Structure 1
Amino acid sequence: MPHLPTADIACPYCGETITLVVDDSAGDQRYVEDCHVCCRPIEVRVSVDDDGMVAVDAWGQDEA
């Protein structure tokens, strides 16, 4: 079974670097994941381009 890609992001609340495991088989997606350090909700957007490259954006729920 192939390994899922990971992405290191900085929590928009506490600033700690956390590692997200990304399920790229679902294509583009948007979801909420709690910070593993401070437990606050982080909005996550995963984009998969035509070549299969994964990009991850993350921001706090209080950001526009």
Structure 2
Amino acid sequence: MVQTITVEGMSCEHCEQTVADALEDVDGVTAVSVDREAASATVEGDADEAALVEAVEDAGYDADG
């Protein structure tokens, strides 16, 4: 399953990596692609959307499923 979430507040490559690392730590995630210009993250796997949003918010960014 592929899910895309909106991620606000990323301003650089380091931000993208921080978000990607946070999402990769969520159970069920198999692949992550983060695009700061599109303000989004695409996640493959069977992770719960609420867990993805929580991971991004815990990393310091605003997220919406």
TM-score by length of 2: 0.29
TM-score by length of 1: 0.29
Identify the structure with bigger relative contact order (alpha carbons < 8 Å, sequence gap 6+).
Answer: 2
Structure with greater strand percent: 1
Structure with greater helix percent: 2
